[in-house]
Structure 1
């Protein structure tokens, strides 16, 4: 190791001596050349000559150092000594990673940081461009879904209307308002129940409507009109009119009548299911009905045996609770003005009488807990005259107003209350008196 150090120092000193000798020789040459040149040109080219001289010296030094480095590498390879690197000097060449392998490997490279995008704000002086609205395909799916729902709802409404139109309730309303006198409020309430029930085919319970009223106010006539209309729209076999005094007059036959009635209702209901229609069962003179028949009807109405028995309309016509109706109308004649013709007054009339009638009817049988109770009011003298006019026209007689007023005067009335006279028998005796003409 000592020998190699001495050799390197000797070579370095030798190199410096040679460099000095070269500089002296170059200086002498420059002086001679300057003397031979024109003084004016020498002043202008001084800088150029200095640059050329420096470049030539640098190239000579670079060549000698390269030769010296090669000689040292050969000597180290023979002796096994580690190589020495030359000191860092100024050069005109740009350094590369291959020139400094140890430095590039030892110094860790810095990770390049991603430059964040600058947020550019619009120039306030200029016009701001509106943001672009991106059209998402989800919007079109939403529009399609809304259109489908709308079509389904519209079809459902159309189906409801078609089902109601099958029963032709508009024609029924015209008939009842023309044929039934003095009960316009009750007719409107009845049609409202029918329209609401017949708007759909599937129900959770049957419709039971109980029409209560005094004698001669038009209960049986209303039942006949309903039966005739439904026979024309749903068929003869899907309408049952049951007169208690005619079909089961004896109480001893009540159990047998109940069985026959249950079988008849089942047969009618099954036929209605096949035709997808709602049957109508009208029970007149219910005040004379036997308990066994009411129990059989209660089983059909309240037990909910199957869906078939839930799609049916039951109509009860009776004079049960007529005393409460008569008393209420005579004592409140001023507050029930036009009760039989105005729907608003009739609603108040039903609201006052329905709880009293329901409590009375529930004591007879729990069947009325499921019923919609509609009371029919007393008929005034003007209503009785309308009954006479209609019956006289039907029989083909000339409608003489004087004769009609005379016949109406022969009917028995309650004492006049509030300027109105109510008939005790309603239009019950109208047919008999017209037949005597």
Structure 2
């Protein structure tokens, strides 16, 4: 009976179905006990049989309870795992097991999330370690290096060709000649050389180079043109340089139209020849203030032409005295700034900055051709510049350069009133040649 008490105390938590089953078993066992009691009452002479029957009933009751508990546990396990019950057909379904019939277990039992395990890094043993794989070099790198080398060679050759093209015209020698023989115009000479270097650095251009030099009488315009023409003759040849003196080639206005046609044909022939020889011709127009309107019209067509490439590679130099009154007035008014310490280049830059708009407005009213030109004004010459002109001319003629004689000849030149401690010549070096010839 101690075993039955323990079973009864241990099965306190059973379900209602188990309790009903126990009651039915008790009733059956009770009936049997009552029958045996009657037999005991009838036959009280056999006590050993009754004790044996009681023990047997307890054993049977314990066994039945154990089987009932075992059956309930199996059903619960099948419900949790989804395994089919014994005796039921094994049918595969996609329905997941539900725990609605077991609310107490559904809240406590939840599927665990699978954790991804990190791959372990396995290091080989030193003895059996394999050599690291060699990186395969792509052949495209060598092609890229070859392309870089080709581009570098092409750029280097282009630079060398530009240098060769500039060296062909010997601009360094031209610079030395102009700075040595042109007096008082160092700023204008530097600006002119800058335009020439920039234009002659390449052979392909989108427009011709047009430079217009303006200045009063005797400041060196014609002398500068002669020096430039002589240098280009020695470089590109006699047939590719034209010095056009308007008063000499076309003195009469009645023949201006005929002169314009002849000049246009001459320029076309020279440009075509220069294209064949891959050279740049030079056209110098001296005393351009006397050029007739028909000639200016004929010159404007090749200067402003953008349809044909035959007239784009050429240099046009116009020497004239247009706007000389503005230049003279500006130099005399700003002579004190030069005396106060402004350098020659700074003074010329100031002249160009202030005079270029004035000169352009004056020239464009005369003819549209001047809108295509780079304007370079030439300043007045001082007494020291006139002395240098006398010294150079006397040396050329073979006279002994006596300083006292040179000062006397320079004193005979007419000058403007002294401004800022400086004397500017009214005629520049115009009369130097004539006075030296009188010696």
1:160-179 matched pairs, under 5 angstroms: 160-179=162-181
Deviation for aligned residue 1:121: 9.2
Deviation for aligned residue 1:340: 11
Q: How many residue pairs get matched?
A: 319
Distance 1:135-1:324 versus aligned 2 partners, 3 A rule: same
- Structure 1, residues 265-319: CA drift from partner, whole Å, max 9, x if none? 0111111111110000000000111000000000111123411100000000000
Give the alignment's Cα RMSD to 1 decimal: 2.5
> Are residue 227 (structure 1) and residue 235 (structure 2) matched?
no
Deviation for aligned residue 1:338: 9.9
Distance 1:341-1:231 versus aligned 2 partners, 3 A rule: farther
> Are residue 311 (structure 1) and residue 313 (structure 2) matched?
yes
Give the Cα–Cα distance (whole angstroms) in 1 for the partners of residues 291 and 161 of structure 2.
39
Give the Cα–Cα distance (whole angstroms) in 1 for the partners of residues 339 and 368 of structure 2.
33
Give the Cα–Cα distance (whole angstroms) in 2 for the partners of residues 197 and 239 of structure 1.
17
The equivalent of 2:121 in structure 1 is 120
The equivalent of 1:282 in structure 2 is 284
Deviation for aligned residue 1:119: 5.8
SS in structure 1 of the partner of residue 337 of structure 2: coil
**Contact map agreement 2:394 2:436 (CA 8 A) in 1:** yes
Deviation for aligned residue 1:137: 3.3
1:246-257 matched pairs, under 5 angstroms: 246-257=248-259
Give the Cα–Cα distance (whole angstroms) in 2 for the partners of residues 315 and 121 of structure 1.
85
Alignment partner of 2:269 out of 267, 270, 275: 267
Alignment partner of 1:193 out of 195, 198, 203: 195
Deviation for aligned residue 1:346: 2.1
Distance 1:304-1:417 versus aligned 2 partners, 3 A rule: same
SS in structure 2 of the partner of residue 272 of structure 1: helix
Give the Cα–Cα distance (whole angstroms) in 2 for the partners of residues 119 and 355 of structure 1.
83
1:76-95 matched pairs, under 5 angstroms: none
TM-score, structure 2 normalization = 0.69
SS in structure 1 of the partner of residue 175 of structure 2: helix
SS in structure 2 of the partner of residue 210 of structure 1: strand
1:114-153 matched pairs, under 5 angstroms: 118=119, 120=121, 135-153=137-155
**Contact map agreement 2:330 2:351 (CA 8 A) in 1:** no
TM-score, structure 1 normalization = 0.69
The equivalent of 1:67 in structure 2 is none
The equivalent of 1:94 in structure 2 is none
Give the Cα–Cα distance (whole angstroms) in 2 for the partners of residues 357 and 162 of structure 1.
36
Deviation for aligned residue 1:352: 1.4
Point out where structure 1 has 5 or more consecutive residues left out of the alignment: 1-105, 107-114, 123-129
**Contact map agreement 2:339 2:420 (CA 8 A) in 1:** no
**Contact map agreement 2:289 2:321 (CA 8 A) in 1:** yes
The equivalent of 1:64 in structure 2 is none
Give the Cα–Cα distance (whole angstroms) in 2 for the partners of residues 116 and 152 of structure 1.
60
Give the Cα–Cα distance (whole angstroms) in 1 for the partners of residues 398 and 241 of structure 2.
31
1:348-367 matched pairs, under 5 angstroms: 348-367=350-369
